[in-house]
């Protein structure tokens, strides 16, 4: 077990290079089994979710080599269509393997996926979409078993623009016979990145980033060398931290349009923001005014993955903020920990009322999930005194070298063993 020790109150200055996006890299790794040629993914982030996905690929029979920041995947000898339950319990994104394993082996067996405990995340949309492509599915004893002698293109209408379901259906359709059309598809930038990756392998995927995605099946895919997009959630976390603490930082590697909803709110808070190409500069005096309301929604709306961090900022902004969480019903688990630091938060169902206080104070708090853990780090950076953030396993799922990057910006944070 490890924890962060944070001595708060320091302003943040400097430049930070943003890692490749966790939510882009994981489906790309899943897609690597679609070809028996070598796939090289560069700028792989050193986070536990990626390591667990690489372990899953090894269990399928893929050969994995690491060369600097690159992962080299050779799946020509992959033989297994089953993912061990011990691994699927560790990582939610193991569900992405369903579509790609079905495409490769025409059958797949997986237990229900794990990941952060932020509420129900049913995979019905994934399964109903796969059924449209001709997949037979049996669910029993905690496992999902799928089989399809041949996958055929179809029209799939999603009841909700689910990122995971959109990506899984794309992975199942790239070599299916005929055309697949996904309507009410999710529009997240990571889906565009998956489309670009697959098309570089010889796929024919069109329309990612819009509500309608078209996939024309191809006979085969070839190897590829690829650099994933930058992590908009990591960039947002650093920008939120600088806004709360005060100072001036620059993020490198994320486009303004990919986090426009957050930048709009930070400007409302009183921050000055300048963006050019993939660089974003934020200036803050640390004396923020609250925004009256913000609510999470699918892209291009405010991301649920930045709700906790932005709520931590709202705890020290002047005024009252109403937070509405529209995607996950237990995403406010961090609120009780922030209250230990002096935050004024009232949670009721999917809403929270945050009354800004003049200052937070250091305390011992525990990360309950990935983004909630990041919110506690933001709170610790702005708080008076010393804060201990426990259970870093959650934070390590999505942030690589988190404390090192923060120290380069002037934060007083260190990782210690318990």
At residue 5, the 3 state secondary structure works out as strand
Q: Which two tokens stand for residue 29?
A: 């790794």
Query: Which pTM value belongs to this model?
Result: 0.94
Indicate the domain borders of the chain: 2-19+230-417, 22-226
Q: Is the pLDDT of residue 80 over 90?
A: no
The residues, ordered by sequence, that sit 6+ positions from 408 with a Cβ below 8 Å of its Cβ are 14, 16
Closest alpha carbon to 55 in 77, 27, 23, 88: 88
Q: In whole angstroms, what is the distance from residue 261 CA to residue 378 CA?
A: 19
Tokens of 410: 């002037």
- Is residue 273 left, alpha or beta, with left meaning phi > 0 and alpha meaning psi from -120 to 50? beta
Of the residues 58, 62, 116, 245, which is catalytic?
116
Query: pLDDT digit string (tens) for 331-375?
Result: 899 999 999 999 999 999 999 999 999 999 999 999 999 999 999
For residue 90, name the pLDDT band (cuts at 50, 70, 90). low
CATH class of 22-226: alpha beta
Residue 329 has pLDDT above 80, yes or no: no
316 Cβ contact list (under 8 Å, min separation 6): 244, 288, 356, 357, 358, 359, 360, 382
pLDDT tens column, 10-66: 999 999 999 999 999 999 999 999 999 999 999 999 999 999 899 999 989 999 999
CATH fold label, 2-19+230-417: UDP-n-acetylglucosamine1-carboxyvinyl-transferase; Chain (3.65.10)
Decide: 199 and 28 in contact? Cβ < 8 Å.
Answer: no
The kind and range of the H/E element at 268 are helix 260-269
Give the rounded percent of residues in the chain with a pLDDT score beyond 90.
82
- Euclidean distance between CA atoms 75 and 56, whole angstroms: 12
Instruction: Establish whether 58 is a catalytic residue.
Output: no
Per-residue model confidence as pLDDT tens digits over 262-315: 999 999 999 999 999 999 999 999 999 999 999 999 999 999 999 999 999 999
The DSSP-derived string for 131-167 is: HHTT-EEEEETTEEEEE-SS-B--EEE-SS--HHHHH
């Amino acid at each position: 077990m490890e924890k962060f020790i944070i001595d708060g109150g320091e302003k943040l200055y400097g430049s930070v290079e943003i890692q490749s996006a966790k939510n882009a890299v994981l489906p790309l790794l899943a897609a690597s089994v679609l070809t028996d040629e070598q796939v090289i993914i560069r700028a792989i982030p050193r986070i536990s979710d990626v390591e667990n996905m690489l372990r899953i690929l090894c269990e399928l029979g893929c050969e994995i080599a690491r060369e600097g920041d690159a992962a080299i995947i050779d799946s020509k000898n992959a033989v297994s269509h089953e993912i061990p339950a011990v691994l699927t319990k560790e990582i939610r994104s193991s569900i992405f393997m369903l579509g790609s394993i079905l495409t490769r082996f025409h059958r797949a067996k997986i237990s229900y996926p794990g990941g952060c405990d932020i509420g129900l995340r049913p995979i019905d949309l994934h399964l109903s979409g796969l059924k449209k492509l001709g997949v037979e599915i049996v669910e029993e004893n905690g496992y999902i078993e799928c089989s399809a002698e041949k996958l055929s293109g179809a029209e799939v209408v999603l009841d909700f623009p689910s990122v995971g379901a959109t990506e899984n259906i794309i992975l199942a359709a790239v070599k299916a016979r005929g055309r697949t059309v996904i309507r009410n598809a999710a529009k997240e930038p990571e889906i565009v990145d998956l489309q670009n990756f697959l098309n570089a392998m010889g796929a024919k995927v069109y329309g990612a980033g819009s509500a309608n995605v078209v996939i024309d099946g191809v006979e085969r895919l070839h190897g590829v060398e690829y650099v994933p997009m930058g992590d908009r959630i990591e960039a947002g976390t650093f920008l939120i931290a600088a806004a709360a603490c005060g100072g001036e930082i620059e993020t490198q590697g994320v486009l303004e349009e990919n986090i426009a909803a957050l930048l709009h709110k930070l400007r409302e808070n009183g921050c000055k923001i300048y963006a050019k190409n993939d660089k974003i500069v934020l200036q803050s005096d640390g004396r923020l005014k609250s925004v009256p309301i913000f609510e999470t929604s699918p892209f291009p709306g405010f991301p649920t993955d930045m709700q906790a961090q932005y709520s931590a900022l709202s705890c020290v902004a002047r005024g009252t903020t109403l937070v509405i969480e529209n995607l996950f019903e237990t995403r406010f688990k961090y609120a009780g920990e922030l209250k230990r630091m002096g935050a004024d938060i009232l949670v009721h169902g999917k809403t929270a009322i945050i009354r800004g206080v003049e200052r937070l104070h250091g305390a011992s708090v525990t990360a309950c999930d990935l983004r909630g853990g990041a919110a506690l780090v933001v709170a610790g950076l702005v708080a008076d005194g010393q804060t201990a953030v426990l259970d870093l396993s959650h934070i390590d799922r999505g942030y690589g070298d988190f404390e090192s990057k923060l120290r380069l910006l002037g934060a007083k944070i260190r990782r210690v063993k318990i």
